[in-house]
Every structure is written in structure tokens, then in C-alpha cells.
Structure 1
Amino acid sequence: MTCSDSDYAYLRELVLQQSANRIDPSRNALFDARLKPIAQKAGASSLKDFVSILKVDRAPHLHRAVAEAMTINETSFFRDLKPFEMLRETIFPRLIEQRRGQRRLRIWSAASSTGQEAYSLAMLIAEHFPIVAGWDVKIIGTDISQYVIDYARRGRYRRLEVNRGLPARMLLKYLVRDGEEWMISDRIRSMCEFQYANLCETLPKLPVFDLVMLRNVLLYFPPQDRSYLFKDVYRLMAPDGCLVLGNAEQAEDSSDLFEVEFASNSYCYRPVVGVE
């Protein structure tokens, strides 16, 4: 049985409510591909039957499973080089100088997907800033999908995944081969942790961050949800911290909270001090 336009509209609205992920009608075919395993587990013989189950039962775990399945999980090691160049040349040297007394760094990889961004940050620090080897450094990755959180925690990646963006020198230095997979080394893994968080709901208890990586997320959020998220991020940032967005994203609707700063052919955002 084929889904009707109203069925797809229901699914798009469900995903929007659960995750603030706005799915264009032109991408309705994604529902057929990504929801088939969930529909089968729920005892539905077709996606249309599954939609009927969702409408009648309104089971929270099924609604969440649909939102997780439709979340964009595209990522790679050192994805988009410019932000990492900016981190290496400008942001990390400044943060390390500012935190010399505390010897402590807290970094948030929001929407961390399968963990490559968080592990890339750890490798960048280990490779270029040996001065922090004895510091208390923690990179916290969060995501709405429990599946990708579990994947990130494993710290094991296939050959295709490590071949995307990870220099051979760093692959051999910070990962260990195990059959057809590569495992993140204990040194890098010890700097990272991963936990569930829905960015459009009440966030779990998190520390104050020196650096927030919020990349390639806002493109899928409607304006109101972006505004709420920026307020949450602002509250979780140190006054002299830094926010990094995706190349195609801006904080234009939160100019009262953040001011832009250009560095190394890219830019980041600094919290406006004194905002209540």
C-alpha cells in the first residue's frame, strides 16, 4: 500500500515536532527507505499501515524512532577544513592561553552524529598542542539518535569512513587497525564522551563550554527553534568562549547574543557579555 500525500505530511510534521528537522516534500522517498525497518518491528506490513499505527497509538518511543531515523547523520573526519584550520591557528591557542591557570577545557560537539567531529577535535589537540597533555580536557558529543551515540562510543570505523578526511599520518598515529576496522586509540578516546540530547527540547545537565561546535544543524531548524537553541547555547558558554557554525550557517537571528569574529579565512562567534 502506497502512502498518500496526507500520510507523508503527517510524517513530516511528526519529525518537525520531535526534532525541529524540516523535511521538504521532495524528499518523501526517504521515509520509505529509512522507516521500513521500524515499521516491520512495529508489526506493520507497509509504511501506510505504520502511519496508521502512529496516529492511533501515539507511542512516544515510536515517534522518537521516526525522528531519529530521519535525522541527517552525514559526517566525516575533519569535515570542512577551514574551521579546523581556524581552530588550530587562532581559537585553540587563545583558549589555551586563557585557561593556563585552570588547565581545563570543555568542548561541545553538538549533533555529533557517529563521533568523527569529536574525535577529530581530540586528534587536533593531541597533534598540535602537547602543552595540554596533562590538562583536564573533555569533548562532549551529543546527538538525538541513540544509534549514532552508541556507534560513536564504540570508536570503531570502517575503511571507507577513515578514508574520508583523515590524513594517513594521523590514521596511523591515533587509530589501531583491528581486522577490517580501525579503533580510536585509548588516548584519544579518553578525551571524548557521548550522550543523548535533543537540541529542541530541555537539554541534559551539561558543563560550561569554552568551545561549541554547532555545525550543519541550523539549516534544518525553523527560525523559532534556532532562536531557542541559540539562547540555550549562550547559557552554556563561558563569557570568553567561542561558537563555530557550519559554513552556510549564521547567527543573524541572535545578534543580541553573539558577535561575529573573523579569523584565518573563516569566522566564529563570541558571546555578547552581559546579556540576561
Structure 2
Amino acid sequence: MACSDTDYAYLRELVLEQSANLIDPSRNALFDTRLTPIARLSGADSLEDFVNMLKAGRPAHLHRAVAEAMTINETSFFRDMRPFEMLRQILIPRLMERRMEERRLRIWSAASSTGQEAYSLAMMIAEHFSEIAGWDVKIVGTDISRHVVDYAQKGRYRRLEVNRGLPARMLLKYMTRHGEEWEVSPQIRSMCEFHYANLCAPLPLLPTFDLVLLRNVLLYFSQQDRRALFREIHRKLSPAGYLVLGNAEQAEDSTNLFEVEFGADCYFYSPVRAS
């Protein structure tokens, strides 16, 4: 039996509470597709029965499973090349110049999904900035879904995944084939690490970053949660660092925290320094 409008409203509220992900009512059908396997594994006879289990508060871990299932994990290698070109031409050279003495870079791939963004950035740095070989470079990917964090940590991708955006030359140079899968090389993997994190909760364990990539995430957050997230990122970003958003996103209502810059056909942001 299909869910009632009341059940869908409950599920949308549950996802919002757990992950700040706003699900429009027009997308209720996604619940049917993504939650039916979880409902079956939980022993529920139908999605309606599964919702009743959730409402009864048992078991509590299923609430998190629902939020993770509804998180959008769409990604690919070098997704949208323009920001990567801007990073190559402008931001990475600037950061290298500013960090020349420490020879250390910290980069945060927020909402990193299955890891392609972090690994793409590591490949780009290895390919175009050979002088950074002796530096301490770490790209930290975080995501609210433990499943995709585990996937990213393995660094192994199916043929369909590597065929999406990864140039053949880089595939052969930075990945090794194992049957029907391709594994990221130790050189690239050593630059990346992945952790579970909820962007709508305090992030005390993360260090200060020189660069934050927060692309194609804000669309799913309420205005209040976006403001809170920008405050958290401003706190985690070095005064000489940069924030990169998706092409259709902007740091609205945060002009007291970030100022916008433009270069290589892309916008990026730098933190406003305290006067």
C-alpha cells in the first residue's frame, strides 16, 4: 500500500530534522524508490508499515538510514570542468604562494559523496603542480552518508563511473585496473581521506582549511541552515583561504562573512577579514 500524504509529510520532516535536506512534495515518489529496500530489510510488509515503525521510534538507527537514503549523491570525476580550471589557473597557485614557507595545504571537499571530487582534485594537483610533491597536502572529504564514505575510502570505481568525466590519460596514469573495476593509485589516495560528518552540526574535529569546496549542496538546505553552515565554514577557513560553490549557488545573506571574486569564468569567495 502506498503512503498517505500524511506519511510523506512525516518522512519529509524526518529527513529535514536528520540532515537539513529539504524534499519538495513534488518528489514524494523518491521515497518509494529509495526507502522500499530499507523497509524490506527492516521486516516491514510495506512502506506504510515502515513509516509506522519510524513513528513508533523503533529502531532509532532507521531514522538515520532514511536520511542517508534520501541524500543526493550525484557526482562524477571532474564534474563541471570550469571550477577545476579556475582552481588550476588561480586558486591553487595563489595558495601555494601563500603557503610556500609551511609547504602545507588543507582542502575540504564538503558533501564529497563517493569521493570523485576529492580524487579529481588530487589528480589535478599531481598533474599540474609537480613542485608540490614534497608538500604536506591533505584533501578531506566528508559526507552525511556512511555508505558513500566507505565507498570513497575504498577508492575503487566501476567502468561506468570512471568513464564519466575522467580523461583516458589520467585514468591510465592514476588508476589501476582490477577486472571490471579501477583503483585509485597509492599516490593519489595518500592525499585524500574521508570521514562522516553532518554539515548541519558543529564540526569540531576538522582542522582549519585553505580551500573549501561546497558545490551543489546549498539547494537542499533551508535559508536558516545555509546561514549556519556559512558561519561554520567561515570559522574553519583560513583568513587567506577560499570557498568554491556550485555554479548556480551563491553565499547570499553572508556578505558580512565572504566577499565574491571572479576569475577564469567562475565565482569564488574569500573570507571577510575582521576590521
CA RMSD, 1 decimal = 0.9
Q: Does 1:210 align with 2:210?
A: yes
55-64 or 33-42: bigger deviation: 55-64
Alignment partners' CA distance in 2, 1:217 and 1:18: 15
For 1:217-245, what per-residue CA distance to the aligned partner results, in whole angstroms no more than 9, with x for missing partners? 00110100000000000000000100000
The residue that corresponds to 2:164 in the other structure is 164
Q: How many residues align?
A: 275
- Paired residues for 1:1-276 under 5 Å: 1-57=1-57, 59-274=59-274
* Percent of aligned pairs with the same amino acid: 73
Alignment partners' CA distance in 2, 1:265 and 1:52: 50
TM-score by length of 1: 0.98
For 1:114-155, what per-residue CA distance to the aligned partner results, in whole angstroms no more than 9, with x for missing partners? 000000010010000011101000000000000000000010
Instruction: Detail structure 1 runs of 4+ shifted over 6 Å in the superposition.
Output: none
Alignment partners' CA distance in 1, 2:247 and 2:59: 37
- The residue identity in structure 1 corresponding to 2:86 is M
Alignment partners' CA distance in 2, 1:8 and 1:39: 14
Alignment partners' CA distance in 2, 1:273 and 1:4: 50
Task: Report SS of the residue matched to 1:229.
Answer: helix
- Check conservation: 1:118, 1:140, Cα contact below 8 A: yes
Q: Which runs of 5+ in 2 are unaligned?
A: none
Task: Report SS of the residue matched to 1:212.
Answer: strand
Deviation at 1:41, TM superposition (A): 2.0
Alignment partners' CA distance in 2, 1:224 and 1:84: 29
- Check conservation: 1:54, 1:63, Cα contact below 8 A: yes
- Check conservation: 1:197, 1:204, Cα contact below 8 A: no
Alignment partners' CA distance in 1, 2:160 and 2:138: 27
Alignment partners' CA distance in 1, 2:68 and 2:218: 16
TM-score by length of 2: 0.98
Alignment partners' CA distance in 2, 1:87 and 1:126: 13
Deviation at 1:180, TM superposition (A): 0.4
